[in-house]
Each structure stands twice: as structure tokens, then as C-alpha cells.
Amino acid sequence: MLQQISPQIIFHNPSTQHIKQHVKHKVTANGICFTDQREQIEDLDTLPLIDRSLIDYKKYHQFIGQSGIRNCMTIQGGRGCPYRCFYCDVQKLTPNLYRRTSENIYAEVEHLASLGVRDIEFVDDIFNINKKEFINFFKMVKDNRLNMNFYFQSGLRGDALDASAADAMVEGGVKSVNISLESASPRLQKMMKKFLNIDKFLKNLQYIATQYPHVVLGLNAMHGFPTETEEEARSTVDFIKDIKWLHFIGFHNVRIFPGSLLEKVALENGVTPEQINESLTIPYHLMPTTMHFDPAFSMKLRLDLVRNYVLNKDRLKYIIQKQLSTFNEEELIFKYQSYFPSQINTMDDILRLAKIDRSEIDFSVQPSPNPSRIDYETMQGAPVEKKPDALNVLFIDATQFYSKDDNAELKIVEAPLGMLALQSYIDRDFGDKVNGKIIKSYVDFDSDEGLKTLLADFKPDLICVRTMSYYKNFFVSVVKAVREFDSAVPIIAGGPHPTIAAEDVLLNNNIQAVCVGEGELTLSELIKRMLERDKQFPPPSELKDVKGIAFPWHQNH
């Protein structure tokens, strides 16, 4: 039996939030200054309710999101994770786990329900780490008869569930759950520091699959860990095949993030830095250059899983019938396209691949009517008047390629929740002294020229750009387009990739700073300094006193 971690959940302690400390800094050989790490926000209940009027949700709801449906709102109930899985970049962003109380999360859900929202996806890294709070939240939803649908594309740890937690979440409205195995190998579980209790994990999966077959249950696994043997890879596929009624399988290629322990292990086992860098931007359905397996073996393994499990006729007939009680045909098509994007356009295409006649499934079954009827007009509210001399802050979410450059097989679009959280916080702190605007690539601008038009209209005094490792090259082109329009406007980068690769981001882009980790307190301090300096960005002599940032160091500061 594998060793089990007893994760420590750190709850809020406001008394330590604003202690003033001397800020230290260090300068790398490449001339990049890193200041002290900023403490995470412990009391997440003190953060403002996210202002959904800051973007036009109608633009986003024309697309299907991670949950697999349209008109879905995302909520984050906590930040961080107590586990230290060696492939994950979350521990660099938010090393400790802090949770909102279940009452606070419920208040946000209730507010969204009042606006006609019925579908909510949780985007936490681990929402169910505290069983009591987990159950309490869904009990409040049930007791108050909110009649909501909840989705977990990720965010639930399989061995932290049990029958009572599963009962509570389903009774509270959970419709879809993805749970991550990664590998069925005890050796790899130990090496990756996930330490999953595989027996308990299996028991919980089987309980949900048998007791609640209408819940769309998915399993995520990874393929291609450094030192993974062919036998270990096959054992993961065999583990999946032994669970009879899983709805969807995610069998993903391992991604190696800069600065992770996985990167260290990969480099020790012959993977080159060049291969890691190249693999970060390869589309997820393609084999990365870091993979040590023979491509023929990997292809054979995937075909085995698809032919003998995904397209198993008896399994698929049973599963599709259950899925039709939760998803309509259009939504199901989108989910099945994750397996066969070039071959699936209708449900008949799926049935053809599995050699199932349409008459063998009752397509008259439809999901219980509970559609979102979102009141977008009320959500938008009355326009807020800003002072003419307010600081104009433009938030750019660069996590979607332009349509002409997109190599993704599926177009999945999410609202920029991180940017919404940042601007909601800034609006509360500064009121009409700051005029914020959020835009996202592909949705609000689909070309460099479109971006430049928005820049000309808004005239930003400060730009904050968020990106992820998969979009790191796209981020470079976005910054370049901004600089072509305005060579002087200060730019701050943030989000997963700038946090884990701050030095590289600063060396390869003409930007002023990187926010390392959470952004609310850091951005608030930088804006305060800009307001005090008549909208001028602080020089290095001041930046060194700001926690949680990296910036180019100039000796003649």
C-alpha cells in the first residue's frame, strides 16, 4: 500500500495578512531582479464577488467551454493544492491551499442563480479536500432548492471521495465529473509524488458508476512519464478497461513544465531543454518530442483503448443511453469529438464507428428541462462613469490563438476568470480612480490589427497580459503587436507561464515586470505607486520594494 499524505489545509488568518516586512531582492546573472515571494491571500472570503458585468458573456456563451456545454459560468472555490505532484505548475502559482468557506461559495452560486444561470463549472485544483465543507456546500444547494447543474472537468481527487461525499454532490446537482488517475503504477505514483490510494480511487469510481450511471464520469490518465516502462503504460490502460461504465477517457501525453520537478527528472533521463521547450507549444493531440516511447507502441496502446473500450458496442450502447438524460445530442457530439475530431459530426458517426444501429438506442430520452435563461441585461448593469483622469488599465487574456493560426482540433473557449478576479479587486480598491477593461484574444480581437484598434480606442496607461505555456509564443507576438502600436506603455505579465518562466519571459519580451503568483495584492500596490507618480510606472529603485515580482534590473537606476 502506498504511503498516504495527510494534507494540511490552511484556513484564513487575517491577522497576518498585512504585516509589513522588509522586502529582499536578488539579481540573476542575466540581470533579472526577483523580489521576495508575496504571501498568498489567506482569507479568500474577503475578496470581492467577481463582477460578471466586466465582460460581455454573450460573446463567450456562443462557444462550448471546458464543461462541454454552452452558457456555463466558472467559479473557483479555492486556490492551491496540498499535494506536490511533480508534473504540476500550480505549486509555483499558489503553493499553499486556501479555501473559501462553503457559505461564501454558496452566496456566489445563489447570486448567479438569481441571474438565470443554471450551469456552473468549478475550476479548482482540488475542491473536495475538506469533506465536511464539500458536503455542506451541496447540502445548502439542495436545501434551498436552487436546481443547479454542476460540472467538474477536473478538481476532484478520487481517493478523497467516499460514498457520503458522492451522494451529497449528486443530490446537489453534479452532472459531470472527471477524476485523475495519471498512472496505475505504484512506482510512478510514488515518483510523481501524487501518492494516490489506487484501491480507494477504484472503489469510489465504481460506486459512482454503478449508483449514479447518469452522471457523466470521466477518467484522466497520462502517458509518457520519464522512466515509464511499456508494462507500466499497459497497466494503466488495463486499469481503465476493468472499470466497466466510465463515460469518457482522457489519455494525455505528459507535458513538462519549466521549473517543475518533472523537468529535473526528464533532464536526468536524456530529455533535452530544447525538446522540453518545443513540446510546450505542440498541440495536445500530437506526440511531444519529449516522449521516450516508440511512436508505434504509443499508437498501438491508444488504439487498444479506443477499440476495446471506447468503441465497445455493449458499453457504448449503455453509456450513450445514460448520457442522453444529461446532455443533448449536440453536446455529446462535442465530447466525442475529443476522440475522433476529424470523423465525428453527428451521433450517427459515433454509432457507425461502434457498429450500433440507431434503433438500438432510445433517442426520445431528453435531459430534464433546466436550461440557463441568463438575464444578460441585468448582469451588465448600468454603465459606470469613470473620472476622465482615471488610470486606464487594460487586461489582455492571451490564451486563445487567432482563428487563422489555431491548430487545435476542438475550439474550447472559457471566460477570463483570472482577469475578472483582478479587475473586481482593483475596482473595489480604487473605485473611479482606475478604469479597467478586459479583452481576450480570438473573442474580442482576432488579429494584431484588431488588437491595435482596441488599444487606440482605450488608450491604456498600463497593460496586464496573462498567458499559459501552450500559448507562450503567441504571447510574444501579442506583446510585439502592442509595442508596434505603443513602444512606451508599461506591460506586466502574469499567469501560469510567466510565473514559472519569469526570467525567460522578461529576457525575450519588451515588458516592464512579471507578477509571480497571485496578482491582486501585487497589482494593487503597483497601481497605487503609479497613481502617486502621476501614472508613471515605478523605476527599479521602487520596484525592488514590491513583493512578488521580477523585472529587468538596471545598474543606473
Determine the pLDDT at residue 407. 66
Task: Walk across the sheet containing 72-75 and list its strands.
Answer: 72-75, 119-122, 149-156, 174-182, 216-223, 248-253
Q: What is the pTM of this model?
A: 0.91
Neighbouring C-beta atoms of residue 140, cutoff 10 Å: 18
Specify the pLDDT at position 325: 82
Determine contact, residues 551/514, Cβ cutoff 8 Å: yes
Going by C-beta distance under 8 Å and a sequence separation of 6 or more, which residues neighbour residue 384?
432
* Distance separating alpha carbons of residues 311 and 374, to the nearest angstrom: 37
Three-class SS string for 331-373? HHHHHHCCCCCCCCCCHHHHHHHHCCCHHHCCCCCCCCCCCCC
Q: Shortest CA distance to 440 belongs to which of 77, 72, 54?
A: 54
β-pair type (25-27, 32-35):
antiparallel
Q: Are strands 434-440 and 391-397 parallel, antiparallel or unpaired?
A: parallel
CB 292 within 8 A of CB 316: no
Q: pLDDT at position 72, please?
A: 92
Per-residue CA distances from 340 to 197, 254, 358, 392, 410 (Å): 32, 20, 19, 45, 10
**pLDDT for 83:** 87
Reading the chain (557 residues) residue by residue, the pLDDT tens digits are 233 333 333 333 333 344 455 788 899 999 999 999 999 999 999 999 999 999 999 999 988 888 888 889 999 999 988 888 888 876 677 788 899 999 999 999 999 999 999 999 999 989 999 999 999 999 999 999 999 999 998 889 999 999 999 999 999 999 999 999 999 999 999 999 999 999 999 999 999 999 999 999 999 999 999 999 999 999 999 999 998 899 999 899 998 988 888 999 999 999 999 999 888 888 777 788 899 999 999 999 999 999 999 999 999 999 999 998 878 887 888 888 877 766 788 889 989 989 999 999 998 887 766 667 888 888 887 777 777 899 999 999 999 999 988 766 567 899 999 999 999 999 999 999 999 999 999 999 999 999 999 999 999 999 999 999 999 999 999 999 999 999 999 999 999 999 999 999 999 999 999 999 999 999 999 999 999 999 999 999 999 999 999 999 974 44
* The predicted structure's pLDDT at residue 171: 97
Distance in angstroms (rounded) separating the CA atoms of residues 260 and 256: 7
pLDDT of residue 555: 45
CA distance linking residue 10 with residue 18, whole number of Å: 17
What confidence score (pLDDT) does residue 6 get? Answer: 35
Work out the number of other CB atoms within 10 angstroms of the CB of residue 258. 19
